[in-house]
Amino acid sequence: MRKFTTMMTAAAALLAAGTATKAADVEVLHWWTSGGEAAALNVLKEDLESQGIGWQDMPVAGGGGTQAMTVLRARVTSGNPPTAVQMLGFDITDWAQEGALADLNILAGMEGWDDVVPEALQKFSKYDGKWVAAPVNVHSTNWVWANKAVLDELGIAPPQTWDEFVAALEKVKASGKTAIAHGGQAWQEATVFDAVVLSTGGPEFYNKVFVDLDEEALGSDTMKQAFDRMAVIRSYVDDNFSGRDWNLSSAMVINGDAAFQMMGDWAKGEFLNAGKQPDTDFLCFRFPGTEGKVTFLSDQFALFAQGPEVGKEQAALAAAIMSPNFQSAFNVVKGSVPARTDVSDEAFDACGKKGIADLKAAAASGNLVGSMAHGHANPAAIKNAMYDVITAHFNGEYDSETAVEELVNAVQINK
């Protein structure tokens, strides 16, 4: 009964949104603070302001959102949660479990979100059948970025298979250049690992190990092979990789000091910012062996319950996030792909168009898997435990066999 009244008031509030005289403000906690991202978010702010809703900006950058998550915890504990919080994957589920998120089902029903958001994303945007978050974009992480001039000079075509990739790497190494520009931070290594596992074992295996945490699969020979491939990749990385920011790795590719970088689609921003053009100066292609398959992560705005009902500002914010115009405008700048599948790809460049097409195809064929490295395959505790093993192996602390054992251990301890 209470639920019903909540829904009714929310609907009433929503309908009233357009006619409101002076609405309250929304406070948004996010970590998009660099030039392009923040500017893109400003589109959303202006949209809301045109509806008479003020935007209270609460940016907290650092550690890929971990800093913001800490702040969020303090805010929720003190009884003062923000209206909406940028969030990734399982964090949304965790907060929904705490009962901290608002129920957006009425709005979602009116706007038909169920039909336009891919099911793989809904898994995170919905909890217990209720919409609790509004997805903004889909990033995909199994991309390889390459310097076209370097490849042309050495006569390398974009490799399609693992063996071709290794041959290409060998050629680059022989020429004296760095084959792979890599930044030695745990999340970057895990990002590469995502792609390697997907390529080695296929989507089914990927889901088995990362989502189902199947111990047999985790301890399997396929997993060992994946670690072996990580070791191969390590051997084509320069000696100074440890701790390097991914931006500096991109700079190595941009400057022609290195041939390849494996990084999510946000790397494109670095290339564009350096005045490089896709297909003429740099190439983007899927990690060898993962063509047609996509490891994704989706930035979403989780909406925190501000009271028993969804306020009209909150509803307006969620609706604005999901509007096709914003999704297009934002993602063109951000390098990602809209979370809605019905947004036109007109405004996007070559890499962006490919991203949209890939996403659509992968979602249809079951080849869309959540990125483990970015919290879309398992909860934070497991994810970080996996980071530990992957990064220890990449840094030569474990051989592949030990790494497999440790991975099984890590999952057991943290489950």
Partner 1 sequence: MVTVTSSRSFSPGRFVLYALLALFCIYYLLPLYVMLVNSLKPLSEITAGGMMALPKDWTLAPWLSAWSSAQVGVEATGLKPYFLNSIIMVVPAVALSTLVGALNGYVLTKWTFRGATIVFGLLLFGCFIPFQMVLIPMARMLGLMGLAGSVTGLIFVHFVYGIGFSTLYFRNYYAAFPTELVRAAQIDGAGFFRIFWRILLPSSGPIAVVCIIWQFTNIWNDFLFGASFSDFSSQPMTVALNNLVQSSTGVKEYNVHFAGAIMAALPTLLVYIVAGRYFVRGLMAGSVKG
Partner 2 sequence: MSISETANPRGSVADRLRDALPKLVLSPTVAIVAIFVYGFILFTLYLSFTDSRILPTFGLVGFENYDKLFRLRAWDTAVSNLVIFGVLYIAICCVLGLLLAILLDQRIRAEGFIRTIYLYPMALSFIVTGVAWKWFLDPGIGIEAVVQGWGWTDFKFNWIKDREMAIYTIVIAAVWQTSGFVMAMFLAGLRGIDSEMMKAAQIDGASTFALYRRIIIPQLRPAFMSAFVVLAHMAIKSYDLVIALTGGGPGTSTELPATFMYSYTFTRNQMGIGAASAVIMLMTIAAIIVPYLWSELREKK
- Cα 353 to Cα 52: distance, rounded to the nearest angstrom: 34
Say how far apart CA 251 and CA 267 lie, in whole Å: 10
The answer to whether 52 contacts partner 1 (rule: CB under 8 A) is no
**Binding flag, residue 305, partner 1 (CB under 8 A):** no
Options 10, 14, 53, 75; binder of partner 1; rule CB under 8 A: 75
Q: Is 50 in the site for partner 1 (CB under 8 A)?
A: no
Terminal alpha carbon distance of the chain: 36
Residue 242: which of partner 2, partner 1, none does it interact with, CB under 5 to 8 A by kind?
partner 2
Q: Is 221 exposed, middle or buried (0-12, 13-18, 19+ CB in 10 A)?
A: exposed
Instruction: Indicate the helix (H) or strand (E) that contains 22.
Output: none
* Interacting positions 88-127 with partner 2 (CB under 8 A): 94-95, 97-98
Contacts with partner 2 by CB under 8 A: the residue count is: 35
Q: Choose one: 167-175, 194-202, 249-257, 358-366; the region binding partner 1 (CB under 8 A).
A: 249-257
Q: Provide the minimum distance between the beta carbon of 154 and partner 1 in the complex, in angstroms, as a whole number.
A: 22
Q: Give Cα 375 to chain centroid, integer Å.
A: 8
The partner in contact with residue 395, picked from partner 1, partner 2, none with C-beta cut-offs of 5 to 8 angstroms by kind, is: partner 2
Residue 186 found at the interface with partner 2 (CB under 8 A): yes
One residue of 5, 34, 160, 161 binding partner 1 per CB under 8 A: 34
No. of H helices and E strands in the chain?
A: 19, 15
Counting contacts by CB under 8 A, is residue 21 touching partner 2?
no
Identify the DSSP state of 25: -
Tokens of 235: 């051997």
**Whose structure tokens read 């093993």?**
389
The answer to whether 135 and 370 are in contact (CB under 8 A) is: no
In the complex, least distance from residue 265 CB atom to partner 1, rounded to whole angstroms: 9
Q: Where are the beta strands (DSSP E) in 307-384?
A: 337-338, 368-370
Q: How far apart are alpha carbons 51 and 47 in whole angstroms? A: 7
Residue of the chain from 3, 5, 70, 347 that contacts partner 1 (CB under 8 A): 70
What residues contact residue 22 under an 8 Å CB cut-off, 6+ apart?
A: 52
- By CB under 8 A, residue 231 contacts partner 1: no
Contact segment (CB under 8 A) with partner 2 among 38-46, 287-295, 325-333, 376-384 equals 376-384
Smallest Cα–Cα separation from 205: which of 124, 295, 287? 295
Look at residue 244 and give the partner it binds from partner 2, partner 1, none, a contact being a CB closer than 5 to 8 Å depending on partner kind: partner 2
Is position 38 an interface residue for partner 1 (rule: CB under 8 A)?
A: yes
| Residue 29 tokens, joined | 């906690």
Separation between Cα atoms, residue 231 and residue 253, nearest integer Å: 21
Separation CA 206–CA 356 (nearest Å): 22
Nearest distance from C-beta of residue 317 to partner 1, angstroms: 13
Per-position x/- string for 138-177, each x denoting binding to partner 1 as judged by CB under 8 A, each - no binding:
-x--------------------------------------
> Which residues here bind partner 2, judged by CB under 8 A?
63, 66, 69-70, 73, 76-77, 94-95, 97-98, 184-186, 238-244, 379-381, 384-385, 388, 391-392, 394-397, 413-414
- The binding site for partner 1 (CB under 8 A) comprises 27, 31-39, 41-42, 44-45, 55-65, 67, 70-71, 73-75, 77-80, 139, 245, 247-248, 251, 254-255, 264, 266, 269-270, 273-274, 334
